[in-house]
Each structure stands twice: as C-alpha cells, then as structure tokens.
Amino acid sequence: MNVNQENGNIIMSEEEKYPRGIEVISGPFIINDKNQLLLCLSPKWGVWIVPGGHVNPGETTRDACIRETKEELGLDIEIVDFLNVAESFAEPPIFKRHAHFIFFNYIARLKSSHMDFNEEISETRWFDLDDVLKNPEVKISCKEGAALLKKWLAEHQK
C-alpha cells in the first residue's frame, strides 16, 4: 500500500483492493408453478437475494448453481435455462471487503420441496415478480434478473 505524501491518503493497487481477484458466482432464479421467485434473506447482505455462491476451480457454473442451492437451502433443483451474466462491485460498509463479482445466473425449478437452510440464510419467501421489481429490500442484481426472468416467462408461455 502506498501513502500519498501530500495529503496522507492511502492509495491501494487493484491487487490490494481486490485481493481475491474477480470472483465467479453462480445462482438460480428458482420459480414455482405460479411463476413466483424464491428469494432468501441474507444476514451477510441484509437484503433479499437468490441463493448461490462461488464456483470452485474445475466446477462448471451450472454445477456450482446446483451445489450452492443444496448447501444453502437443502433443495434439489433442475436447471431450466441460462438467464444471464451480471457484474457487481461491493465494498465496505455494504460488504465486509472490496469484491468484484461476475454472476452466472440460471432459471431453475424445484425437484424437492423440503427446505433446510444454513446460516447464510435467515428466511425464504416466494415473491411475485412485480413485487420483486419494486421492493427496496431486494438486491438490485436480483431485480435486474427478475426483469429478465419476466421477459423469459412471457416468451416461453406462448
């Protein structure tokens, strides 16, 4: 870390600012028969999000999506389609550190209904897509995904 001699500000290099580099994340937009979206209240983020997490080396984003859903919610899912790639930057105080995330999101349906969520989730709830889009307690990346999901549903229900 360098310190600016004139004003004493700390100047971090990109490697110092993002010590984990670019982090690849995968998660499902799980829909039910009513085309509602399953969201999770995350103590880590303090908002409603889709489940998901880091892709391990040698693991596909699709397999990570299935694994992370099982780990976080105890649910088995079936991937229906690819939804999108999204990007996000996080930093304190919103997140515990600086992070650069690339998300691979999938559309999924439940194969099992028994839920047993871990410490990363404090609550789950099914939301109508219109409610997701206007809810200030839903993470913006989930709102963007929900808007795409709404378009996808309109195209695939013809």
Q: What is the pLDDT along the chain (158 residues), one digit of tens a residue?
A: 444 455 556 566 666 676 777 899 999 999 999 999 999 998 887 889 999 999 999 999 999 999 999 999 999 999 999 999 999 888 877 777 888 999 999 999 999 888 888 788 889 999 999 999 999 999 999 999 999 999 999 999 76
Place of tokens 């100047």: 11
**CA pair distance 30, 14, nearest whole angstrom:** 35
Alpha carbon of 148 to those of 29, 78, 83, 133, 153: distances in Å? Answer: 10, 19, 7, 11, 9
- Sort 151 into a burial class: Cβ within 10 Å, 0-12 / 13-18 / 19+: exposed
Amino acid 1: pLDDT: 46
Amino acid 98: pLDDT: 86
